[in-house]
Amino acid sequence: MLKNSHPEAPSQNNKNNTQGSLHGTWASRWTFILAATGSAVGLGNIWKFPYIAGENGGGAFVLVYIACIAIVALPIMVAEVTLGRMGRQSPINTIRNLIKESGASKSFGVIGWMGVSAGLMILSYYSVIAGWALNYIEYMISGVFQDVTAEQAGTIFDDLMKDKNELIFWQSLFMLMTVVVVMCGIHKGLGLASQILMPLLFLLLIGLLVFGYQQGDLTGAFNFLFGFNFGSLTWQSVLVALGHAFFTLSIGMGAMMVYGAYMPSNTGVFSNVLMVGVLDTLVALIAGLVIFSIVFANPSIESSAGPGLMFVSLPVAFGNMLGGLFFGTIFFVLVSLAAWSSSISLIEPAVAHLVESKGFSRITASLLLGMVTWVVGLGSVFSFNIWTEVKIAGFNFFELIDFITANIMLPLTGIFVAIFIGWFVKEKMVQEELSGDNQGLSCVWRWTVRYISPLAVAAVLIMGIYPRMT
Ligand code: TRP
Protein backbone atom coordinates (compact mmCIF):
# COMPACT_ATOMS: atom_id res chain seq x y z
CA MET A 1 0.00 0.00 0.00
CA LEU A 2 1.09 3.53 -0.58
CA LYS A 3 2.07 6.04 1.95
CA ASN A 4 -0.41 8.84 2.28
CA SER A 5 1.48 11.95 1.29
CA HIS A 6 -0.47 14.04 3.78
CA PRO A 7 1.11 14.10 7.16
CA GLU A 8 -1.99 15.79 8.50
CA ALA A 9 -4.30 13.18 7.04
CA PRO A 10 -6.51 12.12 9.90
CA SER A 11 -6.72 8.46 10.69
CA GLN A 12 -10.23 7.60 9.62
CA ASN A 13 -13.13 7.20 11.92
CA ASN A 14 -13.89 3.90 10.26
CA LYS A 15 -12.44 1.45 12.74
CA ASN A 16 -12.03 -1.38 10.29
CA ASN A 17 -10.05 0.67 7.92
CA THR A 18 -6.42 1.06 8.73
CA GLN A 19 -5.69 3.07 5.64
CA GLY A 20 -8.11 5.77 4.60
CA SER A 21 -8.21 8.75 2.34
CA LEU A 22 -7.68 12.34 3.38
CA HIS A 23 -11.21 13.04 2.17
CA GLY A 24 -12.89 10.30 4.20
CA THR A 25 -14.02 6.72 3.67
CA TRP A 26 -17.50 5.38 2.81
CA ALA A 27 -19.27 4.26 5.95
CA SER A 28 -19.55 0.69 4.64
CA ARG A 29 -19.29 -1.39 1.49
CA TRP A 30 -22.97 -0.62 0.91
CA THR A 31 -22.34 3.10 0.73
CA PHE A 32 -19.69 2.35 -1.88
CA ILE A 33 -22.14 0.22 -3.85
CA LEU A 34 -24.87 2.87 -3.67
CA ALA A 35 -22.51 5.71 -4.56
CA ALA A 36 -20.90 3.82 -7.44
CA THR A 37 -24.33 2.73 -8.70
CA GLY A 38 -25.43 6.34 -8.37
CA SER A 39 -22.55 7.37 -10.58
CA ALA A 40 -23.22 4.63 -13.10
CA VAL A 41 -27.00 5.03 -13.32
CA GLY A 42 -27.72 8.29 -15.09
CA LEU A 43 -28.81 9.85 -18.34
CA GLY A 44 -26.85 7.06 -20.02
CA ASN A 45 -29.30 4.46 -18.72
CA ILE A 46 -32.60 6.27 -19.00
CA TRP A 47 -32.15 8.65 -21.91
CA LYS A 48 -29.46 7.08 -24.08
CA PHE A 49 -29.74 3.31 -23.69
CA PRO A 50 -33.39 2.99 -24.76
CA TYR A 51 -32.94 5.06 -27.90
CA ILE A 52 -29.69 3.43 -29.03
CA ALA A 53 -31.28 0.03 -28.40
CA GLY A 54 -34.19 1.25 -30.54
CA GLU A 55 -31.93 2.54 -33.30
CA ASN A 56 -29.90 -0.66 -33.38
CA GLY A 57 -32.81 -3.04 -33.65
CA GLY A 58 -33.49 -4.04 -30.03
CA GLY A 59 -32.83 -7.60 -28.80
CA ALA A 60 -29.54 -8.58 -30.41
CA PHE A 61 -28.05 -5.22 -29.50
CA VAL A 62 -29.03 -5.73 -25.87
CA LEU A 63 -27.24 -9.07 -25.83
CA VAL A 64 -24.06 -7.59 -27.31
CA TYR A 65 -24.25 -4.71 -24.85
CA ILE A 66 -24.45 -7.12 -21.90
CA ALA A 67 -21.48 -9.06 -23.28
CA CYS A 68 -19.47 -5.82 -23.56
CA ILE A 69 -20.28 -4.94 -19.96
CA ALA A 70 -19.23 -8.37 -18.71
CA ILE A 71 -16.13 -8.96 -20.82
CA VAL A 72 -14.61 -5.51 -21.24
CA ALA A 73 -16.14 -2.89 -19.00
CA LEU A 74 -16.32 -4.72 -15.67
CA PRO A 75 -12.63 -5.78 -15.75
CA ILE A 76 -11.62 -2.16 -16.40
CA MET A 77 -13.88 -1.04 -13.58
CA VAL A 78 -12.15 -3.51 -11.25
CA ALA A 79 -8.84 -2.04 -12.42
CA GLU A 80 -9.95 1.51 -11.66
CA VAL A 81 -11.37 0.72 -8.23
CA THR A 82 -8.25 -1.28 -7.31
CA LEU A 83 -5.89 1.50 -8.42
CA GLY A 84 -7.96 4.01 -6.47
CA ARG A 85 -7.89 1.95 -3.31
CA MET A 86 -4.14 1.41 -3.62
CA GLY A 87 -3.51 5.13 -3.92
CA ARG A 88 -6.26 6.54 -1.70
CA GLN A 89 -6.05 9.95 -3.38
CA SER A 90 -7.41 11.84 -6.38
CA PRO A 91 -6.72 10.02 -9.66
CA ILE A 92 -3.89 12.43 -10.50
CA ASN A 93 -1.99 11.83 -7.26
CA THR A 94 -2.86 8.14 -7.07
CA ILE A 95 -1.40 7.51 -10.51
CA ARG A 96 1.60 9.72 -9.80
CA ASN A 97 2.45 7.77 -6.65
CA LEU A 98 1.90 4.38 -8.24
CA ILE A 99 4.22 5.39 -11.09
CA LYS A 100 6.90 6.20 -8.52
CA GLU A 101 6.38 2.95 -6.64
CA SER A 102 6.49 0.80 -9.74
CA GLY A 103 9.13 2.72 -11.71
CA ALA A 104 6.78 2.99 -14.71
CA SER A 105 7.04 5.74 -17.31
CA LYS A 106 5.83 9.17 -16.22
CA SER A 107 3.63 9.26 -19.32
CA PHE A 108 1.04 7.17 -17.46
CA GLY A 109 0.35 10.36 -15.52
CA VAL A 110 -1.90 11.18 -18.46
CA ILE A 111 -4.48 8.79 -16.96
CA GLY A 112 -5.09 11.15 -14.07
CA TRP A 113 -5.04 14.38 -16.03
CA MET A 114 -7.11 13.19 -18.93
CA GLY A 115 -9.62 11.60 -16.57
CA VAL A 116 -10.10 14.71 -14.47
CA SER A 117 -10.51 16.96 -17.52
CA ALA A 118 -12.88 14.52 -19.22
CA GLY A 119 -15.07 14.55 -16.11
CA LEU A 120 -15.42 18.32 -16.16
CA MET A 121 -16.02 18.37 -19.91
CA ILE A 122 -18.74 15.72 -19.66
CA LEU A 123 -20.32 17.56 -16.75
CA SER A 124 -20.45 20.76 -18.80
CA TYR A 125 -22.98 19.30 -21.24
CA TYR A 126 -24.45 16.69 -18.88
CA SER A 127 -25.77 19.55 -16.72
CA VAL A 128 -27.47 21.09 -19.76
CA ILE A 129 -29.38 17.90 -20.61
CA ALA A 130 -30.16 17.24 -16.95
CA GLY A 131 -31.53 20.79 -16.93
CA TRP A 132 -34.02 19.81 -19.67
CA ALA A 133 -35.19 16.96 -17.44
CA LEU A 134 -35.70 19.40 -14.54
CA ASN A 135 -37.68 21.68 -16.82
CA TYR A 136 -39.82 18.74 -17.97
CA ILE A 137 -40.85 18.10 -14.35
CA GLU A 138 -42.39 21.56 -14.45
CA TYR A 139 -43.97 20.91 -17.88
CA MET A 140 -45.56 17.69 -16.62
CA ILE A 141 -46.91 19.30 -13.46
CA SER A 142 -48.34 22.27 -15.34
CA GLY A 143 -49.99 19.98 -17.87
CA VAL A 144 -48.60 21.41 -21.12
CA PHE A 145 -48.47 17.89 -22.56
CA GLN A 146 -52.13 17.09 -21.87
CA ASP A 147 -53.56 15.49 -25.04
CA VAL A 148 -50.85 16.93 -27.31
CA THR A 149 -50.03 15.57 -30.74
CA ALA A 150 -46.50 14.55 -31.75
CA GLU A 151 -46.12 17.81 -33.73
CA GLN A 152 -47.13 19.93 -30.77
CA ALA A 153 -44.71 18.08 -28.48
CA GLY A 154 -41.97 18.59 -31.07
CA THR A 155 -42.72 22.31 -31.09
CA ILE A 156 -42.58 22.52 -27.30
CA PHE A 157 -39.14 20.88 -27.35
CA ASP A 158 -37.88 23.06 -30.23
CA ASP A 159 -39.10 26.22 -28.51
CA LEU A 160 -37.22 25.25 -25.38
CA MET A 161 -34.04 24.71 -27.38
CA LYS A 162 -34.36 28.22 -28.86
CA ASP A 163 -34.84 29.86 -25.48
CA LYS A 164 -31.31 30.26 -24.19
CA ASN A 165 -32.27 32.04 -20.98
CA GLU A 166 -34.57 29.21 -19.99
CA LEU A 167 -31.86 26.64 -20.77
CA ILE A 168 -29.29 28.58 -18.76
CA PHE A 169 -31.66 28.83 -15.81
CA TRP A 170 -32.15 25.05 -15.57
CA GLN A 171 -28.50 24.28 -16.31
CA SER A 172 -27.48 26.64 -13.48
CA LEU A 173 -29.97 25.10 -11.07
CA PHE A 174 -28.67 21.61 -11.80
CA MET A 175 -25.06 22.75 -11.45
CA LEU A 176 -25.87 24.33 -8.10
CA MET A 177 -27.46 21.08 -6.90
CA THR A 178 -24.30 19.21 -7.89
CA VAL A 179 -21.92 21.66 -6.23
CA VAL A 180 -23.89 21.73 -2.97
CA VAL A 181 -23.62 17.95 -2.54
CA VAL A 182 -19.91 17.83 -3.36
CA MET A 183 -19.25 20.76 -1.02
CA CYS A 184 -20.64 18.75 1.90
CA GLY A 185 -17.97 16.07 1.59
CA ILE A 186 -17.85 12.29 1.47
CA HIS A 187 -20.08 11.50 4.45
CA LYS A 188 -22.61 14.31 4.57
CA GLY A 189 -22.55 14.98 0.84
CA LEU A 190 -21.87 12.17 -1.61
CA GLY A 191 -22.49 9.31 0.83
CA LEU A 192 -25.72 10.68 2.24
CA ALA A 193 -27.03 11.71 -1.18
CA SER A 194 -26.44 8.19 -2.51
CA GLN A 195 -28.11 6.59 0.48
CA ILE A 196 -31.24 8.69 -0.05
CA LEU A 197 -31.35 9.00 -3.83
CA MET A 198 -30.67 5.42 -4.86
CA PRO A 199 -33.44 3.66 -2.89
CA LEU A 200 -35.82 6.41 -4.01
CA LEU A 201 -34.76 5.91 -7.59
CA PHE A 202 -35.43 2.18 -7.44
CA LEU A 203 -38.81 2.80 -5.87
CA LEU A 204 -39.84 5.28 -8.58
CA LEU A 205 -38.62 2.93 -11.28
CA ILE A 206 -40.68 0.03 -9.92
CA GLY A 207 -43.72 2.33 -9.68
CA LEU A 208 -43.28 3.27 -13.32
CA LEU A 209 -42.88 -0.36 -14.32
CA VAL A 210 -46.20 -1.15 -12.67
CA PHE A 211 -47.76 1.77 -14.56
CA GLY A 212 -46.23 0.47 -17.81
CA TYR A 213 -47.66 -2.98 -17.05
CA GLN A 214 -51.14 -1.69 -16.32
CA GLN A 215 -51.50 1.05 -18.91
CA GLY A 216 -48.87 0.29 -21.51
CA ASP A 217 -47.78 -2.47 -23.83
CA LEU A 218 -45.25 -4.26 -21.63
CA THR A 219 -45.35 -7.43 -23.73
CA GLY A 220 -44.50 -5.46 -26.85
CA ALA A 221 -41.64 -3.75 -25.02
CA PHE A 222 -40.40 -7.09 -23.72
CA ASN A 223 -40.41 -8.69 -27.15
CA PHE A 224 -38.66 -5.69 -28.60
CA LEU A 225 -35.84 -5.65 -26.04
CA PHE A 226 -35.40 -9.40 -25.66
CA GLY A 227 -36.44 -10.79 -29.02
CA PHE A 228 -32.98 -11.64 -30.30
CA ASN A 229 -33.06 -10.79 -33.96
CA PHE A 230 -29.47 -11.04 -35.12
CA GLY A 231 -30.29 -9.98 -38.65
CA SER A 232 -30.44 -6.34 -37.64
CA LEU A 233 -27.05 -6.35 -35.92
CA THR A 234 -24.18 -4.57 -37.67
CA TRP A 235 -20.51 -4.11 -36.84
CA GLN A 236 -21.33 -0.48 -36.13
CA SER A 237 -23.84 -1.45 -33.46
CA VAL A 238 -21.21 -3.59 -31.71
CA LEU A 239 -19.07 -0.47 -31.46
CA VAL A 240 -21.94 1.60 -30.17
CA ALA A 241 -22.59 -1.08 -27.55
CA LEU A 242 -18.99 -1.12 -26.33
CA GLY A 243 -18.74 2.67 -26.23
CA HIS A 244 -21.93 2.83 -24.23
CA ALA A 245 -20.73 0.15 -21.81
CA PHE A 246 -17.91 2.55 -20.90
CA PHE A 247 -20.13 5.56 -20.51
CA THR A 248 -22.83 3.83 -18.51
CA LEU A 249 -20.40 2.34 -15.98
CA SER A 250 -18.62 5.70 -15.57
CA ILE A 251 -15.25 4.26 -16.47
CA GLY A 252 -12.35 5.98 -18.21
CA MET A 253 -12.27 9.22 -16.24
CA GLY A 254 -11.27 8.41 -12.68
CA ALA A 255 -14.77 8.55 -11.16
CA MET A 256 -14.52 4.91 -10.15
CA MET A 257 -10.92 5.44 -9.14
CA VAL A 258 -11.83 8.17 -6.69
CA TYR A 259 -14.85 6.20 -5.40
CA GLY A 260 -12.48 3.25 -4.91
CA ALA A 261 -10.15 5.52 -2.96
CA TYR A 262 -12.93 6.00 -0.43
CA MET A 263 -13.74 2.29 -0.19
CA PRO A 264 -13.06 0.47 3.07
CA SER A 265 -10.17 -2.02 2.89
CA ASN A 266 -12.03 -4.81 4.62
CA THR A 267 -14.14 -5.76 1.64
CA GLY A 268 -13.49 -7.45 -1.70
CA VAL A 269 -13.39 -5.54 -4.96
CA PHE A 270 -14.95 -8.06 -7.36
CA SER A 271 -18.21 -8.67 -5.56
CA ASN A 272 -18.85 -4.95 -5.13
CA VAL A 273 -18.03 -4.10 -8.72
CA LEU A 274 -20.21 -6.95 -9.95
CA MET A 275 -23.08 -5.64 -7.88
CA VAL A 276 -22.74 -2.18 -9.43
CA GLY A 277 -22.61 -3.69 -12.93
CA VAL A 278 -25.73 -5.78 -12.30
CA LEU A 279 -27.70 -2.89 -10.81
CA ASP A 280 -26.71 -0.54 -13.64
CA THR A 281 -27.75 -3.06 -16.28
CA LEU A 282 -31.02 -3.78 -14.48
CA VAL A 283 -31.90 -0.09 -14.38
CA ALA A 284 -31.12 0.31 -18.09
CA LEU A 285 -33.29 -2.69 -18.99
CA ILE A 286 -36.19 -1.67 -16.74
CA ALA A 287 -36.01 1.92 -18.02
CA GLY A 288 -36.11 0.50 -21.55
CA LEU A 289 -39.15 -1.63 -20.69
CA VAL A 290 -40.95 1.34 -19.12
CA ILE A 291 -40.25 3.71 -22.01
CA PHE A 292 -41.14 1.29 -24.80
CA SER A 293 -44.24 -0.05 -23.07
CA ILE A 294 -45.53 3.51 -22.83
CA VAL A 295 -44.49 4.54 -26.33
CA PHE A 296 -45.83 1.29 -27.93
CA ALA A 297 -49.20 1.82 -26.23
CA ASN A 298 -49.61 4.85 -28.48
CA PRO A 299 -49.36 3.49 -32.02
CA SER A 300 -49.32 6.95 -33.56
CA ILE A 301 -45.83 7.59 -32.20
CA GLU A 302 -42.67 6.47 -33.93
CA SER A 303 -40.55 4.39 -31.60
CA SER A 304 -37.32 4.82 -33.49
CA ALA A 305 -37.29 8.45 -32.42
CA GLY A 306 -33.55 8.76 -31.52
CA PRO A 307 -32.40 11.28 -28.92
CA GLY A 308 -35.87 12.87 -28.95
CA LEU A 309 -37.42 9.64 -27.65
CA MET A 310 -37.44 10.86 -24.07
CA PHE A 311 -38.20 14.53 -24.66
CA VAL A 312 -40.73 14.25 -27.50
CA SER A 313 -42.24 10.77 -27.99
CA LEU A 314 -42.51 9.89 -24.33
CA PRO A 315 -44.26 13.11 -23.22
CA VAL A 316 -46.82 12.67 -26.02
CA ALA A 317 -47.50 9.17 -24.78
CA PHE A 318 -47.81 10.28 -21.16
CA GLY A 319 -50.05 13.19 -22.17
CA ASN A 320 -52.50 10.81 -23.79
CA MET A 321 -52.77 8.23 -21.02
CA LEU A 322 -54.92 7.99 -17.94
CA GLY A 323 -52.83 9.20 -14.99
CA GLY A 324 -50.10 9.97 -17.50
CA LEU A 325 -49.23 13.43 -16.26
CA PHE A 326 -48.72 12.17 -12.72
CA PHE A 327 -46.51 9.30 -13.84
CA GLY A 328 -44.82 11.59 -16.36
CA THR A 329 -43.87 13.85 -13.47
CA ILE A 330 -42.51 10.85 -11.57
CA PHE A 331 -40.56 9.84 -14.66
CA PHE A 332 -38.76 13.16 -15.01
CA VAL A 333 -38.08 13.29 -11.27
CA LEU A 334 -36.46 9.88 -11.71
CA VAL A 335 -34.31 11.11 -14.60
CA SER A 336 -33.23 14.20 -12.65
CA LEU A 337 -32.29 12.19 -9.55
CA ALA A 338 -30.32 9.71 -11.63
CA ALA A 339 -28.46 12.53 -13.37
CA TRP A 340 -27.78 14.22 -10.03
CA SER A 341 -26.10 11.21 -8.43
CA SER A 342 -23.97 10.85 -11.58
CA SER A 343 -22.94 14.47 -11.89
CA ILE A 344 -21.39 14.51 -8.41
CA SER A 345 -19.00 11.78 -9.54
CA LEU A 346 -18.01 13.81 -12.59
CA ILE A 347 -16.68 16.69 -10.50
CA GLU A 348 -15.40 14.84 -7.40
CA PRO A 349 -12.01 13.73 -8.86
CA ALA A 350 -11.13 17.34 -9.71
CA VAL A 351 -12.34 18.63 -6.34
CA ALA A 352 -10.27 15.98 -4.52
CA HIS A 353 -7.25 17.05 -6.53
CA LEU A 354 -7.54 20.76 -5.70
CA VAL A 355 -7.98 19.92 -2.02
CA GLU A 356 -4.96 17.61 -1.96
CA SER A 357 -2.51 19.49 -4.08
CA LYS A 358 -3.44 23.13 -3.91
CA GLY A 359 -4.59 23.31 -0.32
CA PHE A 360 -8.08 24.53 -1.29
CA SER A 361 -10.96 23.95 1.09
CA ARG A 362 -13.59 21.57 -0.30
CA ILE A 363 -16.09 24.43 -0.47
CA THR A 364 -13.82 26.72 -2.49
CA ALA A 365 -12.73 23.90 -4.77
CA SER A 366 -16.33 22.85 -5.49
CA LEU A 367 -17.50 26.40 -6.14
CA LEU A 368 -14.55 27.23 -8.37
CA LEU A 369 -14.80 24.07 -10.48
CA GLY A 370 -18.57 24.41 -10.64
CA MET A 371 -18.17 27.93 -12.04
CA VAL A 372 -15.61 26.91 -14.65
CA THR A 373 -17.73 23.95 -15.78
CA TRP A 374 -20.83 26.14 -15.91
CA VAL A 375 -19.07 28.61 -18.23
CA VAL A 376 -17.96 25.80 -20.57
CA GLY A 377 -21.53 24.47 -20.45
CA LEU A 378 -22.80 27.76 -21.87
CA GLY A 379 -21.14 26.68 -25.12
CA SER A 380 -23.43 23.64 -25.19
CA VAL A 381 -26.48 25.79 -24.42
CA PHE A 382 -25.61 28.13 -27.29
CA SER A 383 -25.07 25.28 -29.74
CA PHE A 384 -28.85 24.72 -29.61
CA ASN A 385 -29.67 28.32 -30.50
CA ILE A 386 -27.31 31.20 -31.31
CA TRP A 387 -24.38 28.97 -32.27
CA THR A 388 -26.16 26.29 -34.30
CA GLU A 389 -24.18 27.37 -37.34
CA VAL A 390 -20.79 27.42 -35.59
CA LYS A 391 -19.20 24.13 -36.58
CA ILE A 392 -15.78 22.67 -35.92
CA ALA A 393 -14.98 19.62 -38.06
CA GLY A 394 -18.70 19.25 -38.74
CA PHE A 395 -19.68 19.28 -35.06
CA ASN A 396 -21.39 21.99 -33.11
CA PHE A 397 -19.91 22.74 -29.67
CA PHE A 398 -22.10 20.28 -27.79
CA GLU A 399 -21.45 17.46 -30.27
CA LEU A 400 -17.74 18.23 -30.29
CA ILE A 401 -17.35 17.96 -26.51
CA ASP A 402 -19.46 14.79 -26.47
CA PHE A 403 -17.43 13.26 -29.29
CA ILE A 404 -14.02 14.14 -27.84
CA THR A 405 -14.87 12.88 -24.36
CA ALA A 406 -16.99 9.78 -25.02
CA ASN A 407 -15.29 8.57 -28.18
CA ILE A 408 -11.69 9.56 -27.55
CA MET A 409 -10.81 10.44 -23.96
CA LEU A 410 -12.75 7.71 -22.11
CA PRO A 411 -11.56 4.81 -24.27
CA LEU A 412 -7.96 6.14 -24.30
CA THR A 413 -7.89 6.44 -20.53
CA GLY A 414 -9.46 2.97 -20.31
CA ILE A 415 -6.67 1.47 -22.43
CA PHE A 416 -3.99 3.17 -20.35
CA VAL A 417 -5.60 2.01 -17.10
CA ALA A 418 -5.69 -1.60 -18.33
CA ILE A 419 -2.10 -1.52 -19.60
CA PHE A 420 -0.84 0.26 -16.51
CA ILE A 421 -2.30 -2.17 -13.98
CA GLY A 422 -1.81 -5.23 -16.18
CA TRP A 423 1.78 -4.68 -17.24
CA PHE A 424 3.43 -2.01 -15.07
CA VAL A 425 2.16 -1.85 -11.51
CA LYS A 426 4.03 -4.49 -9.46
CA GLU A 427 2.00 -7.67 -9.54
CA LYS A 428 2.66 -8.25 -5.85
CA MET A 429 1.08 -4.92 -4.91
CA VAL A 430 -2.03 -5.64 -6.96
CA GLN A 431 -2.31 -9.13 -5.49
CA GLU A 432 -1.99 -7.72 -2.01
CA GLU A 433 -4.80 -5.24 -2.69
CA LEU A 434 -6.98 -8.04 -4.04
CA SER A 435 -6.03 -10.52 -1.33
CA GLY A 436 -9.56 -10.51 0.05
CA ASP A 437 -10.93 -11.64 -3.32
CA ASN A 438 -11.24 -15.01 -4.99
CA GLN A 439 -7.79 -15.89 -6.36
CA GLY A 440 -9.02 -17.82 -9.39
CA LEU A 441 -11.15 -14.87 -10.43
CA SER A 442 -8.20 -12.61 -9.85
CA CYS A 443 -6.11 -14.63 -12.37
CA VAL A 444 -8.83 -14.50 -15.01
CA TRP A 445 -9.21 -10.77 -14.43
CA ARG A 446 -5.48 -10.16 -14.76
CA TRP A 447 -5.37 -11.98 -18.05
CA THR A 448 -8.36 -10.02 -19.33
CA VAL A 449 -6.94 -6.59 -18.50
CA ARG A 450 -3.58 -7.51 -19.99
CA TYR A 451 -4.90 -8.77 -23.32
CA ILE A 452 -8.62 -8.54 -24.03
CA SER A 453 -9.53 -5.13 -22.66
CA PRO A 454 -6.80 -3.02 -24.31
CA LEU A 455 -7.30 -4.71 -27.68
CA ALA A 456 -11.08 -4.49 -27.62
CA VAL A 457 -11.07 -0.87 -26.56
CA ALA A 458 -8.40 0.02 -29.13
CA ALA A 459 -10.67 -1.47 -31.80
CA VAL A 460 -13.56 0.69 -30.63
CA LEU A 461 -11.42 3.77 -30.55
CA ILE A 462 -10.09 3.32 -34.04
CA MET A 463 -13.43 2.36 -35.54
CA GLY A 464 -15.11 5.24 -33.76
CA ILE A 465 -12.71 7.91 -35.00
CA TYR A 466 -11.75 6.57 -38.40
CA PRO A 467 -15.08 7.04 -40.19
CA ARG A 468 -15.11 10.68 -39.06
CA MET A 469 -11.66 11.32 -40.46
CA THR A 470 -12.22 9.95 -43.93
N1 TRP B 1 -22.57 6.81 -16.08
C2 TRP B 1 -23.34 8.00 -16.13
C3 TRP B 1 -24.55 7.77 -17.03
O4 TRP B 1 -24.80 6.68 -17.44
C5 TRP B 1 -22.56 9.18 -16.61
C6 TRP B 1 -21.27 9.34 -15.93
C7 TRP B 1 -21.07 9.65 -14.62
C8 TRP B 1 -20.01 9.09 -16.49
N9 TRP B 1 -19.72 9.62 -14.35
C10 TRP B 1 -19.07 9.30 -15.47
C11 TRP B 1 -19.61 8.73 -17.75
C12 TRP B 1 -17.73 9.10 -15.72
C13 TRP B 1 -18.28 8.56 -18.01
C14 TRP B 1 -17.34 8.73 -17.01
O15 TRP B 1 -25.27 8.68 -17.31
pLDDT in the model for residue 7: 38
| Per-residue confidence band for 40, with pLDDT thresholds at 50, 70 and 90 | very high
- Between the CA of 256 and the centroid of ligand 1 the distance, in Å, is 10
Q: What pLDDT does 468 receive?
A: 64
Q: Which residue has the higher pLDDT, 83 or 470?
A: 83
pLDDT attached to residue 307: 73
Query: Can you say how many angstroms the Cα of residue 11 is from the centroid of all Cα atoms in its chain?
Result: 31
253 Cα nearest atom in ligand 1: 14
Q: What is the pLDDT of residue 18?
A: 45
Tell me, what's the pLDDT at 465?
A: 74
In tens, the pLDDT along 20-39 reads 789 999 999 999 999 999 99
Q: With contact defined as beta carbons under 8 Å apart, do 33 and 268 qualify?
A: no
Q: Please write the tens of the pLDDT for every residue from 255-273.
A: 999 999 999 998 999 999 9
Average pLDDT of span 351-370: 97
Does the beta carbon of 135 lie inside 6 Å of ligand 1?
no
CA of 250 to the centre of ligand 1 (A): 4
Distance between CA atoms of residues 130 and 89, nearest Å: 29
pLDDT in tens, 312-321: 989 999 999 9
pLDDT band of residue 470 (cuts 50, 70, 90) is low
Number of H helices, E strands in the chain: 23, 0
Is residue 102 left, alpha or beta, with left meaning phi > 0 and alpha meaning psi from -120 to 50? alpha
pLDDT of residue 425: 96
* Residue 310 beta carbon below 6 angstroms from any ligand 1 atom: no
253 in ligand 1 pocket by Cβ < 6 Å?
yes
The pLDDT assigned to 20 comes to 79
44 lines ligand 1 (CB under 6 A): yes
249, 69 contact by CB (below 8 A): yes
**pLDDT at position 14:** 35
Q: Which of 182, 244, 247 to mutate to test the pocket of ligand 1 (most atoms within 8 A of CB)?
A: 247
Q: What is the pLDDT of residue 150?
A: 87
pLDDT digit string, tens, across residues 369-399 = 999 999 999 999 999 999 999 999 889 999 9
The neighbour count for residue 264, using CB atoms within 10 Å, is 21
Q: Give the model's pLDDT for residue 463.
A: 80
Please give the Cα distance from 249 to 39 (Å, whole number): 8
pLDDT of residue 469: 61
Q: How far apart are CA 79 and CA 74, in angstroms?
A: 9
Q: Which residue minimizes the CA distance to atom 10 of ligand 1? A: 250
Interval between CA 330 and ligand 1 midpoint (Å):
22
Q: Which ligand 1 atom is at minimum distance from the Cα of 343?
A: 7
| Residue 297 to residues 59, 84, 228, 324, Cα–Cα distance (Å) | 19, 46, 21, 12
Q: Is the pLDDT of residue 2 over 70?
A: no
Tell whether the model's pLDDT for residue 344 goes beyond 50: yes
pLDDT digits (tens, 9 = 90+) for 174-192: 999 999 999 999 999 999 9
Looking at the chain, the whole-number percentage of residues with pLDDT higher than 90 is 78
Q: How confident is the model at residue 17 (pLDDT cuts 50, 70, 90)?
A: very low
pLDDT at 25: 93
Residue-level pLDDT at 1: 41
pLDDT value for 309: 84
Q: What is the largest CA-CA distance in the chain?
A: 65
Residue 9 has pLDDT above 60, yes or no: no
For position 19, what pLDDT does the model report?
Answer: 66
pLDDT at 143 over 60: yes
For the chain, which domains are there? 13-469 (1.10.4160)
Cβ–ligand 1 contact at 97 (below 6 Å): no
CA–CA separation, 304 and 381 (whole Å): 25
Give the mean pLDDT of 192-204. Answer: 95
Q: Does 108 score more than 80 pLDDT?
A: yes
The 8-class DSSP code of residue 232 comes to: G
Ligand 1 center–CA 454 separation, angstroms? 20
Identify which has the larger pLDDT, 177 or 50. Answer: 177
pLDDT of residue 94: 96
- Find the distance separating the first CA and the last CA of the chain, reported in whole Å: 47
Q: What is the mean pLDDT of residues 439-449?
A: 95
Look up residue 395 and give its DSSP letter: B
Q: Is the model more confident about 70 or about 308?
A: 70
Q: How far apart are CA 127 and CA 139, in angstroms?
A: 18
Find, among 251, 247, 260, the residue nearest to 98 by Cα.
Answer: 260
| C-beta 346 within 6 A of ligand 1 | yes
pLDDT digits (tens, 9 = 90+) for 393-435: 889 999 999 989 988 899 999 999 999 999 999 999 999 999 9
Q: Kindly state if the Cβ of 75 falls inside 6 Å of ligand 1.
A: no
Distance 366 CA to ligand 1 centre (A): 19
Residue-level pLDDT at 3: 39
Residue type, 220: G
Q: Is the CB of 43 under 6 A from ligand 1?
A: yes
Q: Is the pLDDT of residue 4 over 60?
A: no
Mean per-residue pLDDT over the chain, rounded: 91
List of residues 6+ apart from 50 with CB closer than 8 A: 284, 287, 288, 291, 292, 309, 310
Return d(Cα 142, Cα 463) in angstroms, integer. 45
Whether 57 and 233 have beta carbons less than 8 Å apart is answered as: yes
123 lines ligand 1 (CB under 6 A): no
Single pTM value for the model: 0.92
The pLDDT score that the predictor gives to residue 229 is 74
Confidence of residue 340 (pLDDT cuts 50, 70, 90): very high
